[in-house]
């Protein structure tokens, strides 16, 4: 276990993260357990995160609702199946529009997946 795993474990076990349920659009069973066997946890960023307008992009920055989850908790799901999935956090159901990866310094698999959401 790396120092980054310890930090992510503490962050997702803290009150900053909330319990979540992810239902993939392809009819698979809902994901309500994390890789550690505990509840699936997400960091609610539905107040919005800045996206677009990257260094070499000609996009305008926008604010979109999002949620971040540990990549290890979603390891059994193919990333392309995330689009159209439903995420329930804080008693509200959101649709996953698209996703992005937030890798840890030790690699993508040890980092987070940022789900960009739309209201259902």
Instruction: Specify the pLDDT at position 35.
Output: 92
Write 93-96 long-range contacts (CB < 8 A, 24+): 93/120, 94/46, 94/65, 94/67, 94/118, 94/119, 94/120, 95/119, 95/120
Instruction: Specify the pLDDT at position 63.
Output: 82
- Overall size of the chain counted in residues: 120
Tokens of 39: 């509840």
Instruction: Specify the pLDDT at position 66.
Output: 96
Exposed, middle or buried: residue 89 (CB in 10 Å: 0-12, 13-18, 19+)?
A: buried
Instruction: Specify the pLDDT at position 56.
Output: 63
Instruction: Specify the pLDDT at position 5.
Output: 87
- Averages of pLDDT over runs of 10 residues in the chain (120 residues) are 88 96 86 95 92 65 90 93 95 96 92 95
Could you give the domains of the chain?
Answer: 3-119 (2.40.10)
């Amino acid at each position: 276990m790396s120092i980054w795993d310890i930090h992510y474990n503490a962050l997702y076990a803290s009150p900053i993260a909330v319990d979540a349920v992810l239902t993939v659009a392809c009819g698979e069973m809902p994901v309500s357990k994390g890789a550690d066997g505990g509840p699936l946890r997400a960091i609610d960023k539905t107040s919005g995160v800045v996206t677009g307008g990257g260094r070499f992009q000609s996009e305008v920055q926008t604010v979109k609702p999002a949620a971040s989850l540990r990549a290890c908790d979603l390891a059994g799901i193919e990333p392309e199946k995330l689009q159209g999935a439903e995420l329930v956090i804080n008693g509200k159901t959101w649709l996953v529009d698209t996703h992005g990866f937030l890798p840890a310094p030790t690699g993508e698999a040890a980092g987070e997946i940022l789900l960009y959401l739309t209201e259902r």
